[in-house]
Amino acid sequence: MKADLYIRVSTDEQADKGFSQRDQEERLRKYCHNNQISIRKVIFEDHSAKTFDRPEWRNMLLDLKKRKDQIDVILFTKWDRFSRNAGDTYQMINVLRRLGIEPQAIEQPLDMAVPENKIMLAVYLAAPEVENDRRALNVLYGMRRAKKEGRWMGPAPVGYANKITEDMRKYIAPVEPYAGIMKWVFNMMVTGQYQVEQLYREARLKGIRCCKTNF
């Protein structure tokens, strides 16, 4: 049996534990060695799995269509390395099968000839997306809670500086005379008698040093 090894990480996954290209390659090579599978090619991809419109995947598929019967299987570690879109995944599996190639995740093996395994495939594809959405929500809730507690979550605005207390709580502190100038700017702005451009020029004359966008 001959195989191509497909190793994919997206840019934002590079630093995550267990997603490194080296780690995936090591596990795939060990699997092939233990199962007497010869390796034809190793494909490295640094692209999102939201679609199959990925440079290395396109090149590999074009190569396989031009020269059929080169391999029997495409191996990857988990199904979310192959794709994170259930509809696209089923279509691509059918494309590969017409070429006589079986895609398979060595850590989540599925016999796609068994109809019920399509349910498991959907679970494997959806689980990472659910985890990402949950992580994003947790970050959002954390930021909201921090703001309610009076903590500033980003770079300090003009006239202030980011500080950290002894117990590692972040806050912003005024930096004079710039904080005083910015307070004056806000007081003038709420009167409704000035445009931002006017106040920016006045603030510059008073000593504020920042670009108009930051202002």
Q: Check pLDDT > 60 for residue 108.
A: yes
Choose the weakest-confidence range: 98-102, 123-127, 197-201: 123-127
Segments making up each domain of the chain, as ranges: 2-133, 160-206
pLDDT at 15: 46
CATH of domain 2-133: 3.40.50.1390
Distance CA 215, CA 211 (A): 6
pLDDT of residue 62: 93
User: Which pLDDT band, with edges at 50, 70 and 90, does 168 fall under?
Assistant: confident
DSSP assignments along 183-195, one per residue: HHHHHHHTTT---
**For residues 158-178, average pLDDT:** 87
- Residue 130 DSSP SS3: helix
Share of the chain above pLDDT 70, in %: 96
**pLDDT score, position 82:** 92
What pLDDT was estimated at residue 136? Answer: 81
175 in helix, strand or coil?
Answer: coil
> Which pLDDT score, from 0 to 100, does residue 13 have?
60
Angle at 80 between CA 131 and CA 113, to 5 degrees: 125
pLDDT range class, residue 14, cuts 50, 70, 90: low
Weakest-pLDDT range from 9-13, 98-102, 120-124, 159-163: 9-13
Burial category of 25 from C-beta neighbours within 10 Å (exposed 0-12, middle 13-18, buried 19 and up): middle
- The Cα-based distances of 124 to 93, 118, 153 in angstroms read 15, 10, 34
pLDDT one-digit tens code per residue, 42-96: 999 988 888 899 999 999 999 999 888 889 999 999 998 999 888 889 999 999 9
Which pLDDT does position 92 carry in this prediction? 94
At residue 18, the pLDDT reads: 46
